[in-house]
Amino acid sequence: MAKVIEGLYYSESHEYVRVEGNTGYIGISDYAQNALGNVVYVDMPEVDDEVTAGEEFGAVESVKAASDLIAPVSGTVVEVNEALDDQPELVNQDPYENWIIKVELSDKAELDNLMDAQAYEAFCAK
């Protein structure tokens, strides 16, 4: 069973967001990294780019497939995880520690559209 962490918000496209104050750390779930297999490249936006909930902000490529990254929330990119440029496999090792982008949230109400850990576990079990 894929690891699901309490207190995070999850999207149907298997991204998560961890909220600290007005900052959202966005990455892919353990379920997603398991499905992708060995990640070989992470395509990320630039700092100061705007991301919009429900729209693509990058991609993750693995030996099996490439998968678009869909923003679970809207905001302005304040940081990208540069470690992933040289070590994209960090996403496989611990997808929750190795977030992909950090955004300043533009509308916290969007979090209401996402699943909590229990709902996401049920969604993945389908």
Q: What is the pTM of this model?
A: 0.97
Segment 2-21 mean pLDDT: 97
Give the tens place of pLDDT for each residue, 74-101: 999 999 999 999 999 999 999 999 999 9
Segment 25-39 mean pLDDT: 97
Residue pair 10/16 in contact (Cβ under 8 Å)? The answer is yes
Cα–Cα distance, 58 to 27 (Å, whole number) = 11
Examine the pLDDT at 1 and tell me if it is beyond 80: no
Residue pair 14/69 in contact (Cβ under 8 Å)? The answer is no
